[in-house]
Amino acid sequence: MRPVSGLTVIGCPYCYNAWDVEAADGVPVFHSKIKQLKHREIDAYTDSGVFQTMGVPVFIEDLDYQKYRQYAPYEGLTRNASDAVFSAASRGNAVLFAGGYCNYAPAIAGGLQRAIGEDKKSALSGLMRTQIAGSPGSRRFRRQDLSRCHYRR
């Protein structure tokens, strides 16, 4: 294992609850549209300064559907997520996907695998945050978790 050269934080400003799939005569039919999130986790984390606790350069970027408009939102944003992870991991950065939903997990894994090579093993760790409206601890993040990030190539 070696230390990372930076941290790329990928934010997701879109909500997936505008997506659905139905089976029409046994064939899946996808429907999706772009819906901006009103509150983003990445904003609270950035304001708290938690990303800087790793002691490495921090790069923050958002998924951007405009770059993938040739695809339906469910496909374009998934490709965007995979490409963003690939780009960051290829530079030797740790990657934190802040926001979004579990539907991005395969894209994140695929981007990481493309970056390190199909013959290498990779690992993902997920942190789920359940927020109760108005709870003071709803946006807390354990700083020590980021200070231990390393990856294996």
The angle at the Cα of 29, spanning 69 to 25, to the nearest 5 degrees, equals 160
**Residue scoring higher pLDDT (13 or 87):** 87
**Residue scoring higher pLDDT (94 or 141):** 94
CB 105 within 8 A of CB 122: no
CA separation for the pair 147, 68 (Å, rounded)? 33
The model carries a pTM of 0.75
User: Which pLDDT score is estimated for 22?
Assistant: 84
| pLDDT tens track for 81-135 | 999 999 999 999 999 888 777 778 889 999 999 998 888 877 777 655 544 333 3
Domain boundaries, the chain: 2-151
CA distances from 59 to 8, 18, 44, 45, 95 (A): 5, 29, 16, 13, 10
| pLDDT tens track for 31-79 | 888 888 777 778 878 888 888 888 999 999 999 999 999 998 888 999 9
The angle at the Cα of 56, spanning 124 to 139, to the nearest 5 degrees, equals 60
The tokens describing 1, both together, are: 């294992």
